[in-house]
Chains A and B, each alone.
Chain A
Amino acid sequence: MTTLVLDNGAYTAKIGYSHEKVSVIPNCQFRSKTLRLKTFTANQLDEIKDPSGLFYILPFQKGYLVNWDVQRKVWDHLFGKEMFKVDFADTSVVITEPYFNFMSIQESMNEILFEEYQFQAALRINAGSLSAHRYFQENNSELCCIVVDSGFSFTHIAPYCRGRKMKDGICRINVGGKLLTNHLKEIISYRQLHVMDETHVINQVKEDVCYVSQDFYNDMEIAQLKGEENMVMRDYVLPDFSSIKKGFCKPREEMNFTGKYKTGEQILRLNNERFAVPEMLFHPSDIGIQEMGIPEALVNSINKMPEEMQPHFYKNIVLTGGNALFPGFRDRVYKEVRALAPAEFQVSVVLPQNPICYAWEGGKLLAENPDFEEMVVTREDYEENGHCIYEKFDI
């Protein structure tokens, strides 16, 4: 009986058998304006030679799975002959869901897993729970931890104690990678070049060039300097998909501060956007979203917990999700939480080696756990009891 672990995210699906490695695959369909007739699913993205003006069809909306047509097509591709060749009768699946998932989505998920795909057994769990499990595996002397999952659609902050999530402390900030990319597209379109259609390219720009500043106002002042003294400014070479396949950031030595470049490449000059865009994770009010940022929400969440547990939470803060990969993210979270937390508590923020796959690794450990058989719901259970089984999962 093999186990397939699937961290079903809104942007990428992290999927793999528990005895093999994880693959990170886009969880959506694409359409290109050049190759008109075909719809590309998931990792068929690599076949597209010209990803300009790429049209995304995402099954998730605001972080919740609403479009089952698209999701089923992606899953058909992933579970089929070309990818994982799943033998449903002999496989259990561990699949992740967002916090406070809606009842109708949970029911649809049950139906699709058991009646359409006919998996032998399934375990539905929050991605943060898998991350917490992974963390407790490495640090088995710790009792509590607080998981910050900053992904594509939103950021969740969830406290865990002895392996169980504390629902009262779960906090959701509606800022995620999607918002950051869209905001970056808007400001570039207004200041330099119209890129509103180029989600794929600008996402790459964001990942290559943006960073989290440690001292916001200081960086703002440096960005206002002219010429060589401006350490913040960078030039980014946009891909044209014929000679330059992938965009890249020009190194500082090659930058031309005065006048134009002689070569025919398209250049984006990025100045304060580099750190102003990720700043939205720390201050969503910068853009008008009236919510608190990650450090404040962390402290807020911990304050809702019983007093004797609070020092333990401060000592075990785990950062996961794609947004944790911004350079300087971990140090900034540490600095702000340290400033807000009471002086007698010890603060420790952990950034794992691979924040995107951390939850998947937790799923892999869970599948190898001897208690796994009791945690899953088998197909026979579902057929006898119907949707009452969702109470076991407590999502």
Chain B
Amino acid sequence: MVSVLRSQDPSQRRVLDSATRQRRLTRQLEALEKDNFQDDPHASLPQLVKRLPQFDENNESGKRRKKTRGDHFKQRFRKNFQALLEEEELSVSEGPNYLTACAEPSTLPQRHFCAVCGFPSNYTCVSCGARYCCVRCLGTHHETRCLKWTV
């Protein structure tokens, strides 16, 4: 095991710069916001099958509700979060709003944990900046994750 590590000479491995590392971190955080990591099971179904149930619904509720007014209505109801946030930024008014309410960075120093086992870590991978706690974890990190996909 030790000889495998020694052959990964530091001068031969690629080293990521801080901008790339920051981008990777942002990518990881955004991935944590996802609802689903798999694809929609309905994505591959033909459109025809999905039309049928809607026909029944319209018959029942035709009396009760005002029909929604078509495209303009639907367009307004389909903005995604990013669009709403940009709108909000444009119309910023005095006083507290969504953006000012966000918590500030902590005054305490950041704690670091090994990317492999989760225990407190003291060392950083030279190439990609990931944390590790011991030589065994470094080995696992090099074999599985280090630079395996790049931003």
Which label, helix, strand, loop or mixed, suits the secondary structure of the B interface? loop
Q: Please, what's the 1-or-0 string for A89-102, where 1 marks a CB less than 8 Å from any CB in chain B?
A: 00000000001101
Q: Please, what's the 1-or-0 string for A183-218, where 1 marks a CB less than 8 Å from any CB in chain B?
A: 101110011000011010000000000000000010
Q: Known A102-B98, A172-B102, A291-B102; judge A272-B119 contact (CB<8 A).
A: yes
Q: Is the Cβ of B65 less than 8 Å from the Cβ of A118?
A: yes
Cα separation A167 to B95 with both chains bound (whole Å): 8
Q: Is the Cβ of A288 less than 8 Å from the Cβ of B111?
A: no
Query: Of all chain B residues, which has the CB nearest A291?
Result: B103
- Does B143 have its Cβ within 8 Å of any Cβ on chain A? no
Among A58, A187, A197, contact of B37 (Cβ-Cβ < 8 Å): A197
Which label, helix, strand, loop or mixed, suits the secondary structure of the A interface? mixed
Q: Is the Cβ of A171 less than 8 Å from the Cβ of B84?
A: no
> What residues of chain B lie closer than 8 Å to A172, measured between beta carbons?
98, 101-103
Q: Is the Cβ of B66 less than 8 Å from the Cβ of A115?
A: yes
> What residues of chain A lie closer than 8 Å to B150, measured between beta carbons?
none
Among B34, B38, B113, contact of A182 (Cβ-Cβ < 8 Å): B34
Q: Is the Cβ of B105 less than 8 Å from the Cβ of A290?
A: yes
Q: Is the Cβ of A220 less than 8 Å from the Cβ of B119?
A: yes
> What residues of chain A lie closer than 8 Å to B144, measured between beta carbons?
190
> What residues of chain B lie closer than 8 Å to A387, measured between beta carbons?
none
- Does B97 have its Cβ within 8 Å of any Cβ on chain A? yes
Q: Is the Cβ of A58 less than 8 Å from the Cβ of B35?
A: yes
Q: Please, what's the 1-or-0 string for B97-119, where 1 marks a CB less than 8 Å from any CB in chain A?
A: 11001111111101101001111
Cα separation A100 to B33 with both chains bound (whole Å): 20
A-B contact count (CB 8 A): 151
Q: Known A31-B42, A37-B49, A66-B81; judge A289-B29 contact (CB<8 A).
A: yes
- Does B25 have its Cβ within 8 Å of any Cβ on chain A? yes
Q: Is the Cβ of B65 less than 8 Å from the Cβ of A116?
A: yes
Q: Is the Cβ of B101 less than 8 Å from the Cβ of A36?
A: no
Q: Please, what's the 1-or-0 string for A156-172, where 1 marks a CB less than 8 Å from any CB in chain B?
A: 00000000000110111
Q: Is the Cβ of B110 less than 8 Å from the Cβ of A285?
A: yes
Query: Of all chain B residues, which has the CB nearest A35?
Result: B41
Cα separation A232 to B79 with both chains bound (whole Å): 45
> What residues of chain B lie closer than 8 Å to A183, measured between beta carbons?
32
- Does A297 have its Cβ within 8 Å of any Cβ on chain B? yes
Interface centre among A53, A66, A103, A220, by most B CB within 10 Å? Answer: A66
> What residues of chain B lie closer than 8 Å to A276, measured between beta carbons?
113, 118
Interface residues of A in 208-243 (CB under 8 A from B): 217, 220, 223-224
Other contacts beyond A118-B64, A173-B103: 18, CB < 8 A:
A56-B36, A61-B80, A64-B81, A100-B96, A102-B87, A103-B88, A104-B79, A116-B65, A167-B95, A168-B96, A179-B33, A186-B32, A283-B108, A287-B32, A289-B29, A290-B105, A291-B103, A292-B107
| Residues of B in contact with A (beta carbons under 8 Å apart) | 25, 28-29, 31-38, 40-42, 45, 49, 64-66, 68, 76-81, 84, 87-88, 91, 95-98, 101-108, 110-111, 113, 116-120, 144-145
| Residues of A in contact with B (beta carbons under 8 Å apart) | 31-33, 36-37, 39, 53, 55-58, 61-62, 64, 66-69, 99-100, 102-105, 108, 115-118, 167-168, 170-174, 178-179, 182-183, 185-187, 190-191, 196-197, 199, 217, 220, 223-224, 271-273, 276, 283-293, 296-297, 300
8 smallest A-B Cβ distances: which pairs? A68-B77, A291-B103, A292-B106, A100-B98, A61-B81, A196-B37, A285-B110, A290-B105
